[in-house]
Structure 1
C-alpha cells in the first residue's frame, strides 16, 4: 500500500513538472513568434521605406531649372540644392503637368539659414473638358536673405509622369506694385523674415509737412493646407515721442497684393517705425516700403512779395452762366411745337378747301343767273 502511494505521488509530481515545463516551452514559443513577427514587420517597413527613398533625385547647381523631369510612382522627391537667390527679389516658380496623369504635389523651400517654408500642396490633373484646369500653377516667392536655397518637389502618384519645372527671377518685391514715379522717392525699403509675434523697428528721418506713403505685402506663399492669415500691427513715433497707430492686427492681403496707407508729418526729425507680424505658419517674408509722396503745404517765404490777382473795382466777381437744356427737354419742345405747326397747317388747308368750294358755288350761282337773264 505504501509502495502504491509512493508511486502515485511520484507520478503526480512528474505530471506537475511536465505541465510546468510544457507551459514554459509554450510561452517561450509565443514570445519567439512575437519577436519574429515584429522583426518581420520592421524589415518590411524598412524595405518599403527604402523603395520610396530610392525615388529621390538630387540636383546640385546654381542654375535655375527650366526643364521637364520624370517622377516615378508611388513617390518621388526632386531636390534642387544650392540654388543661389538674391535677397529682396521675387522668383516665379512654375510647374506644369505634361503627361495625362494625376498627382499630388508638395513644394517645400529651405532658406540659407535652414528655415522651412511650406509654399504649395495641391493636386495636379488633366481635365478632358478643360485642359488648362488643374494642369499647372505659378507662385512667386520673395526672398528676405541672399544665399543658397533648397527647393523640394514631392510627387505622390499612381503612375509615372512628367512635370515641367521653371524658376525665373523677377523684379524686386513690391516694385511691381509701386508706380515708377514713386520708386525714385523711396526712403525705406526692406524684406524681412518674420516668425509669429516678431517685431522690428526702423529709424528714418522725415520732413515736416510732407505726405508719406507706406506699402506692406506678404511676398512668400503659404500652402492651402496651412493657416494663411497674416496680421500686421504698425505704429509711428515722431521726434517728440508722439505715437501714431496705423494698423492694429490688420489682416494683410493675399500674396502678390499690397496694403497701402498714408501719413502726413507735422514736424521733421527722426521717426521710429515699429512693425509686428502675427501668423499661423513658422516663417513669413514681409516686404515694406516708405515713399516720400508729396509736400502737403507750400510754405510762403516772408521775404517774398506776393502780388494778388487784380479784382474788379466794386469787388464784384462776374460769372458767365451758360444755360444748358437737358436733352429730354429739347426733344419734348420740338415735339410740342411740331404738333402745333402741324395742326395749323391742317386747319389752313382744310379752311382753304372750304373757301374754294364756296367760291365755286358762288361762281356757279352767278353764271346761272346770267344765263336766265339773257333768255
Structure 2
C-alpha cells in the first residue's frame, strides 16, 4: 500500500537518518568535544564551539524536528531551560495566557521570573475556549498550553486555540511532554512552538535531563538560535546521545504504557477507595472527544483522587514495584504526590480550585506486567 512519507514508527527509529557517513556507524557518535579546529582563517567545518553547535546535539535536534514535523528543533539541558529560553521571546508589557493546571516548576518560572521581567500572566482553564477568548486583549502575545495538563489531565482543543491567533500576532505554545510526537503533533494542528521535557517520554529511562523546543515558522529559528547560544543552557553531547537512543523505542514503550494505563484506570474506577480517576482514555472524560480528534493515543499518565487521605499514606508507604518518586515517562512506574512534590510552588487556593489537593495522586505508568502493577496498588491500599 503506497503512502506519502515515512510512518511515525519509522521516523522514531531512524530520526533524521544521520548515521556516520565516514564509518557507517548506525548509532550516531558522541562528539565529546567542547571546541573544533578551524581549517584556516574564515574557514569552518560548521562546528566551532559546542555551546553554539555540536554534531551529536545537532542530530538529536534534527530528530525531534522530524518527529514533530517542525522546521527546526533546539535541545536544552532540561525542560525548564527550554521553557525559560522560549519565554525570552517576549518583552515587558506583553501578556501571556497560561493553562491554570500546569507543572509547578513552570508556574514558579512565570511568577518569579517572567512577572519580574514585566510579563503579564493570566491563568485560565484553556479547555474553555469561550473563557480564553474573553481573556485575549491587545497586549496578548502568547497562549501557553499543557494538554493533557499536569496533573488533572485536562484537554485543550489545539486547533480552536490556534484559530484565535489569527486575530492578532499571538504565539501558541504547547507543552507536548505527556503525549510526545508519537501520539500528538501540535504544529500540525496550528501551534507555533512545541515544548518537551525530554527527561520524560523522549528519554524514557529516568537517566538524563533534557528539554526541547520545536518551531514551525522559519522566522522563529534565528531568534531561538541566538537565545540558545547566548543563554547557553544547551544539551551536552552525551545526554544528546542518550535521548537519541531513548527515542528509538518511544513508540513501543508508549504503546505498552498506554495499554497498561487503560487497564489500571478502569480498575481504579471500580475501587471503593477511589473517588475519581482522571485518564483521557476513559470515555466519560470531558476531553475524550477532543483527544480523539487531535491525538492518536491517550498516553500513560493518569491521576486519581482517593476518598480518605489515609489511603494516600498507605499507597506511598507500601508500594513495592511502583516507586514513590517525582518525574514521569520512564519504563518504570512512578507514583507522585503533587501537593508535596511537583506542585508545591502553586498557591493552595489555586491548587484546590482545580482539584490538586491532599487526596490526589499522579501515576506515570511504566511497561511492567500490568497485573503486577494492579496487585501492587491493591496490596498497598490494604496493608497497614
Q: Quickly name the TM-score band, shorter chain normalised.
A: under 0.3
TM-score normalised over the length of structure 1: 0.21
Higher strand share: 1
TM-score normalised over the length of structure 2: 0.21
Higher helix share: 2
**Which protein is bigger by CA-based radius of gyration?**
1
